[in-house]
Structure 1
Amino acid sequence: MSGFDPQQAASWGPRHNPVLMGHEAAEQALLQAWSSGRLPHAWLITGPKGVGKATLAFRFARFLLAHGPAGEMDAGPSLFGDAPVLPKSLEIGEDHPVFARVASAGHADLITVERSWDEKGDRFRGDIVVQDVRAVIDRFGKTAAEGGYRVCIVDAADDMNTNAANALLKILEEPPANAVLLLVSHAPGGLLPTIRSRCRRLALKPLGNDAMEQTIARLLPDLDAAEQRGLAVLAEGSPGRAVMLAGQGGLKLLNGLLEMVGQLPKPDHAKLHAFGDALARDRSGAGFQLMGELFRWWLARLIRASAAGQIGGSGWTEIFPGETALSRRLAQWQAPDRWAEDWEQIGRLLDRGESVNLDRKQMLLNLFATLGRAAAR
């Protein structure tokens, strides 16, 4: 894939990102809670990975740190003390001092809790540990450095181990004044019920097509329009997933795989073996895992669209040029229920192979053998 700049993509991480698209309702809910003067002290921001939960958390944190409590806003120079004009969005411009200090992790009244670095293991810890949460207790036990809000972002709350969760619960049970906790969670059902019950929940949904395409165009401007559209479909409303797939070459990987699928029942064996050799050389297995994940996703997309008669219809967007023709051709091989059986068989094949560390090239060949039987029916 052309035009992907990892450094540029990294610069649009949640801490640095000034733009949030597709979540206007959630933003207004936060703004209204703040302007009411009765802002809940803890929020649980939920939704699928990569849809913008952490971006919204940092956006709200910047707003709180810049504006302070609504009741303390300066009424301005009016002789009669007219009510201040309340902000209409959470936006804090990139030229604002608070934006720069949050981006550089230099604001004294913002603390973030995430998996910390384990110097002994020379890697990030697998969990958020109790020491990470104790830093919040220490910070919240002091007066706000700038007299406004103290804000804590936990990203992600799902990563907390039992001791860390219990330590955070103590803060939630007895929150100090003008302290706000923003908990990001991909799977809130796994959190302690007592944590969930003490937070106001704000659920984010995957972005719609228009917002997704606009966001990808902003995050990955060097990709051509066709690649941006393809990633928008492939990422299913998750800008974070789109950036991840761009970095891993996911669109190119799926395109190459489906190009060989389109040659069935007589594939180019030289290309197939070369593809398998490349996957086998990757000792991490990340490429093979991504290939399997993307192909299973694409086959499920084919089955759903075929069963509903939607291939090439008004709600259909090509991931790459020629996908519509390929999908129609495969849909003619067999009925959707037979494809569903093959989807399950391919899933078992890939899962079993990964669990016992089978030869990845051979698993690829077995996958194509299964597809070849479908093509020959």
Structure 2
Amino acid sequence: MDAARQASLHVAGHDTEFAEFRRAAASGRLHHAWLLTGPEGIGKAPLAFRMARFLLNAEDATSPVARQVTVGSHPDLLAIGRSFDEKRQKFRNEIVADEIRPINAFMHRTAAEGGWRVVIIDTAESMNRNAANALLKVLEEPPSRAILILTCATPGMLLPTIRSRVRSLPVGPLSEADVRAVLSRVASETSPDELTRVVPLSQGSPGRAMALLADTGGVIDAVAHEAVQGMTMARMLDVADAIGRSETGFGLFFTLLGSALVQASRNAVAPGLKRSVRMAEAWDQVATIRRQTEHFNLDKQEAIIEALSVAGDAGVGP
């Protein structure tokens, strides 16, 4: 979450959402738990850290307290997300109970700076059942002057009892101008032609824009859209072989295939409503295939073939 900490000093967009949070704080009735929802990659984590900076008086980038937030040493801020597996050199798929349990003691202790204690849980949908139950205990008896800020792309994966105890704050996509501003800061070496290619395709998500930039020339994105139109088995085997041998291709492929399915679902209008529903169901299946493959270390090429088949069936059905 280091990038999100840094980005929170100059969040692009989301001014409406931040203003709603500030109004709630000014009213003196700030809810003890907030759930930031919205698609992956639109900047929910930087917004969460911006909210934390506001409560901790750490918005001035030159101040010592702001630098503490940036480097992760502020005593009144606890940030939790999927941890990095040094052995496998990738982020773990789950947030486990042992990572959630310290929250209770943290929130009940006296704030070192005499103000708020803030906990951020990024990708809260990654919590396994035990972790979610541990968080629920914290939500049931919230202390004063302590706040939880959760980010989540798929709130339906959270326990209903958690959703009922948080205030939801939907976070919308960014404008193309804001996406371009983010890319100019985090990918300043990008050529103007590449920016022109990816910004309109980003769907308001800097994260998706970065994925598109990683897909040089849009090769994998083109494959993802081709998959929705249906592929022969021979073509699927060729695609799976090419992508499966790439070190970063697997995750990028699933990201772009998911986006292609979302786009196809949004483009479907009556009398194509059934197609839209199929696309939504296919998106869920594809996400499950990726999650299970990464979690259980399954064969990636077989997973790619299965995902291609699911997308094709959704796209060419009646």
**TM-score (structure 1 length as normaliser):** 0.62
2:5 maps to amino acid: R
The runs of 5 or more residues in structure 2 that have no matched partner are 225-237, 313-318
Alignment equivalent of 2:36, drawn from 38, 45, 54: 45
> CA offset at residue 20 of structure 1?
1.8
Superposed counterparts of 1:119-268, under 5 Å: 124-246=91-213, 248-253=214-219
SS in structure 1 of the partner of residue 5 of structure 2: coil
Instruction: Check the 8 A contact 2:243/2:253 in 1, yes or no.
Output: no
SS in structure 1 of the partner of residue 190 of structure 2: coil
SS in structure 1 of the partner of residue 73 of structure 2: coil
> CA offset at residue 254 of structure 1?
5.3
1:31 maps to amino acid: R
SS in structure 1 of the partner of residue 6 of structure 2: coil
SS in structure 2 of the partner of residue 38 of structure 1: coil
CA gap of 1:288–1:109, structure 2 versus 1, over 3 A, is closer
Aligned: 1:293 with 2:257? yes
Instruction: Check the 8 A contact 2:118/2:147 in 1, yes or no.
Output: yes
CA gap of 1:238–1:167, structure 2 versus 1, over 3 A, is same
Q: What is the aligned partner in structure 1 of residue 27 from structure 2?
A: 36
Report the Cα distance in structure 1 between the residues aligned to 2:30 and 2:66, rounded to whole angstroms. 22
SS in structure 2 of the partner of residue 14 of structure 1: helix
> CA offset at residue 252 of structure 1?
4.3
C-alpha distance after superposition, 1:23-74 (max 9, x if no partner)? 111010011111112111110110001111111100010111117xxxxxxx
Q: What is the aligned partner in structure 2 of residue 282 from structure 1?
A: 246
Identical columns (%): 38
Report the Cα distance in structure 1 between the residues aligned to 2:145 and 2:300, rounded to whole angstroms. 56
Q: What is the aligned partner in structure 1 of residue 6 from structure 2?
A: 16
> CA offset at residue 199 of structure 1?
0.9
Higher Cα radius of gyration: 1
> CA offset at residue 93 of structure 1?
2.9
Report the Cα distance in structure 1 between the residues aligned to 2:262 and 2:101, rounded to whole angstroms. 45
Which structure shows the higher helix fraction?
Answer: 2
SS in structure 2 of the partner of residue 66 of structure 1: coil
Instruction: Check the 8 A contact 2:244/2:250 in 1, yes or no.
Output: no
CA gap of 1:93–1:245, structure 2 versus 1, over 3 A, is farther
Q: What is the aligned partner in structure 1 of residue 53 from structure 2?
A: 62
SS in structure 2 of the partner of residue 184 of structure 1: strand
SS in structure 1 of the partner of residue 34 of structure 2: strand
SS in structure 1 of the partner of residue 169 of structure 2: strand
> CA offset at residue 240 of structure 1?
1.6
Report the Cα distance in structure 1 between the residues aligned to 2:150 and 2:301, rounded to whole angstroms. 41
Report the Cα distance in structure 2 between the residues aligned to 1:123 and 1:135, rounded to whole angstroms. 24
> CA offset at residue 358 of structure 1?
10
CA gap of 1:357–1:214, structure 2 versus 1, over 3 A, is same
CA gap of 1:175–1:276, structure 2 versus 1, over 3 A, is closer
> CA offset at residue 214 of structure 1?
2.6
> CA offset at residue 175 of structure 1?
1.0
Instruction: Check the 8 A contact 1:254/1:291 in 2, yes or no.
Output: no
CA gap of 1:177–1:293, structure 2 versus 1, over 3 A, is same
CA RMSD, 1 decimal: 4.4
Report the Cα distance in structure 1 between the residues aligned to 2:205 and 2:77, rounded to whole angstroms. 26
Instruction: Check the 8 A contact 1:47/1:186 in 2, yes or no.
Output: yes
The runs of 5 or more residues in structure 1 that have no matched partner are 1-9, 68-91, 259-273, 308-336, 371-377
> CA offset at residue 285 of structure 1?
5.3
Instruction: Check the 8 A contact 1:279/1:288 in 2, yes or no.
Output: no
Superposed counterparts of 1:361-372, under 5 Å: none
SS in structure 2 of the partner of residue 39 of structure 1: coil
Report the Cα distance in structure 2 between the residues aligned to 1:15 and 1:287, rounded to whole angstroms. 24
1:45 maps to amino acid: L
CA gap of 1:235–1:66, structure 2 versus 1, over 3 A, is same
> CA offset at residue 98 of structure 1?
2.2
**TM-score (structure 2 length as normaliser):** 0.72
Report the Cα distance in structure 2 between the residues aligned to 1:295 and 1:204, rounded to whole angstroms. 18
- The number of residue pairs the alignment matches comes to 283
CA gap of 1:227–1:149, structure 2 versus 1, over 3 A, is same
C-alpha distance after superposition, 1:213-269 (max 9, x if no partner)? 2332233222122211222122211112222332x23444258879xxxxxxxxxxx
